[in-house]
A and B are shown apart, each in its own frame.
Chain A
């Protein structure tokens, strides 16, 4: 789940990319899924053609036929959450903190690791959590993109419910609920731990 978060840290020069990231959240999951299939399928085709051209056996649907598709779709769809969370967090920090770190010999990577990351722990954790919960619930994209033999909890619940096996459907549904609630509890706990607030 932290793939998203990890991507974001590098997203410090928040430019047009951040705006683009907001796009995925606005698009319905199904539309997104079809878009992802198209992009990844053409990638697959390109790769297979390339390998065929140099005489190697193609790996098949490397991108569109695997878990990669689901993860990629969720990344696109939920990227905006951490982008915005961290953006707000960063804007709360005085730009002079950055300048201070640099003048004390920290390179940009050091600035990120020694100043931004520790100070953005809470926004980071919050957005990771939101993404985690949202991903658990994401149905349409997962339905279209999941590889055979792989289910997400939401898909499982949906299948069972549409077969009218409501009692069985309750199990994955409850699991979603629990998985969603548990980190919230953990997070509120960790936020109560004394942690130097900004002055």
Chain B
């Protein structure tokens, strides 16, 4: 449905997007995630047609809409967009905002579609309000309805929930997923919140510094990160140094770990092992001692920062029933399901 083919972009000769390629199938929801400034918005604007690429192509349904020296103008692409700042038309009421993209259709069709969409986004009866008379969450829903109204081939959403507070955000993002599924629409989200990405997407892309590091299912992005940048960014883990013993064993401060290693690592090679907060278990019979450096109450869970004897700090997510105070000692055990190992960066320049 959507294909990006070695798409690149520069601003004033400064590369903003290095060649980026990906495909998103019909009816799927994709999500791009990455730190701010990594080029997420620019990528969406390229797809929508507000920017022209410096190289590569954008294809919709196999038809190129952007390639070298030939751009389909945005109004002919049938690509809807929900903006980070919402950008409702302040001089139009909710009905007219939603109907903006329908003005070539007969009034009866238009009215029916607006009513249908107001119900879909859960705002029936608010058609006469003006944007400034709505709450942030309501504005967001109107923006979504407005973008959906002309039934675009592809919907782009640029950090659509960043203006909302955390609680509302989760609720609305769940609703939006339902709405997108119901409308059967292909959508590409942008966010810097990985929970949002995992909750919403069938396909997750991790961007960093203008490159797409991995484009994969949420499961694989989490458990099989393609490189250390992805591993660093996703899941709040840390990379702990280790040394390769043989083809499937690594020695670390937490003992010997077993699992498949990437090819090309000789015994004795320095590596980094990914340890996620849920990989480390506080267990009185555990083989290693650690000291609690910090604990953060997260409701059902407690997020500890533990320090091993050698000074290595590791995150640990544990039940909040048994609180361990800062400064106390605990016994820990590593419970790794997926061994993720990268060649050490300590001797390579970064």
Q: Give residues in A with beta carbon < 8 Å to B.
A: 94, 96-97, 99-107, 114-115, 118-119, 195-199
Give min CB distance, B318 to chain A, whole Å. Answer: 44
Please give me the residue from chain B that is nearest to A100 by CB atom.
B87
A195 to B103, CA, bound (A): 23
Given contacts A101-B100, A102-B75, contact A96 B80 (CB under 8 A): no
B147 at the interface (CB under 8 A from A): yes
- 10 A–B contacts, CB within 8 A, in A order: A99-B83, A100-B87, A102-B74, A102-B75, A103-B49, A103-B75, A107-B73, A196-B130, A199-B88, A199-B90
Give min CB distance, A100 to chain B, whole Å. Answer: 5
A199 to B133, CA, bound (A): 9
B150 touches A105 (CB 8 A): yes
Residues from chain B with Cβ under 8 Å of A96 in the complex: 83-85, 87
Residues from chain B with Cβ under 8 Å of A97 in the complex: 87, 89
B81 touches A100 (CB 8 A): yes
Q: Give the number of chain B interface residues (Cβ < 8 Å).
A: 33
Give min CB distance, B40 to chain A, whole Å. Answer: 15
Contact partner of A102 (CB less than 8 A), chosen from B73, B104, B132, B146, is: B73
B100 touches A104 (CB 8 A): yes
B297 at the interface (CB under 8 A from A): no
Given contacts A103-B74, A104-B150, A197-B132, contact A119 B91 (CB under 8 A): yes
B235 at the interface (CB under 8 A from A): no
B100 touches A114 (CB 8 A): yes
A103 to B89, CA, bound (A): 13
A114 to B91, CA, bound (A): 10
A70 to B83, CA, bound (A): 47
Beyond A105-B101, A196-B90, list 4 extra A-B contacts (CB 8 Å). A94-B87, A99-B45, A118-B91, A197-B90
Residues from chain B with Cβ under 8 Å of A199 in the complex: 88, 90, 131-132, 139
Given contacts A106-B75, A196-B132, A197-B132, contact A99 B150 (CB under 8 A): no
Residues from chain A with Cβ under 8 Å of B131 in the complex: 196, 199
Give min CB distance, B136 to chain A, whole Å. Answer: 10
A102 to B81, CA, bound (A): 10
B341 at the interface (CB under 8 A from A): no
Q: Give residues in B with beta carbon < 8 Å to A.
A: 45, 48-50, 73-75, 77, 79-81, 83-85, 87-92, 100-101, 103-104, 130-132, 139, 146-147, 149-150, 152
6 A-B pairs with the lowest CB-CB distances in the bound complex, closest first: A104-B101, A96-B87, A102-B74, A96-B83, A196-B130, A199-B132
A173 to B45, CA, bound (A): 56
Give min CB distance, B240 to chain A, whole Å. Answer: 43
Give min CB distance, A118 to chain B, whole Å. Answer: 5
Please give me the residue from chain A that is nearest to B152 by CB atom.
A103
Please give me the residue from chain A that is nearest to B132 by CB atom.
A199
A29 to B48, CA, bound (A): 48
A103 to B75, CA, bound (A): 5
Please give me the residue from chain A that is nearest to B100 by CB atom.
A104
B132 touches A99 (CB 8 A): no
A99 touches B81 (CB 8 A): yes
Residues from chain A with Cβ under 8 Å of B147 in the complex: 103-104
A106 to B101, CA, bound (A): 8
A109 to B343, CA, bound (A): 56
B79 touches A103 (CB 8 A): yes
B90 touches A119 (CB 8 A): yes
B75 touches A100 (CB 8 A): no
Given contacts A196-B91, A199-B131, contact A107 B83 (CB under 8 A): no
Give min CB distance, B135 to chain A, whole Å. Answer: 11
A100 to B9, CA, bound (A): 22
B90 touches A103 (CB 8 A): no
Residues from chain B with Cβ under 8 Å of A107 in the complex: 73, 75
B74 touches A100 (CB 8 A): no
A198 touches B90 (CB 8 A): yes
Give min CB distance, A21 to chain B, whole Å. Answer: 27
Most chain B C-beta atoms within 10 Å of own C-beta, residue among A99, A100, A104: A104
A103 touches B81 (CB 8 A): yes
Give min CB distance, A190 to chain B, whole Å. Answer: 15
Residues from chain A with Cβ under 8 Å of B91 in the complex: 115, 118-119, 195-196
A115 touches B89 (CB 8 A): yes
Give min CB distance, A13 to chain B, whole Å. Answer: 15
Give min CB distance, B16 to chain A, whole Å. Answer: 17
Give min CB distance, A109 to chain B, whole Å. Answer: 11
A100 to B45, CA, bound (A): 11
A106 to B131, CA, bound (A): 20
Contact partner of A94 (CB less than 8 A), chosen from B79, B85, B146, B150, is: B85
B73 touches A100 (CB 8 A): no
Please give me the residue from chain B that is nearest to A111 by CB atom.
B75
Residues from chain A with Cβ under 8 Å of B48 in the complex: 99, 103
Please give me the residue from chain A that is nearest to B90 by CB atom.
A198
Please give me the residue from chain B that is nearest to A121 by CB atom.
B91
Give min CB distance, A101 to chain B, whole Å. Answer: 7
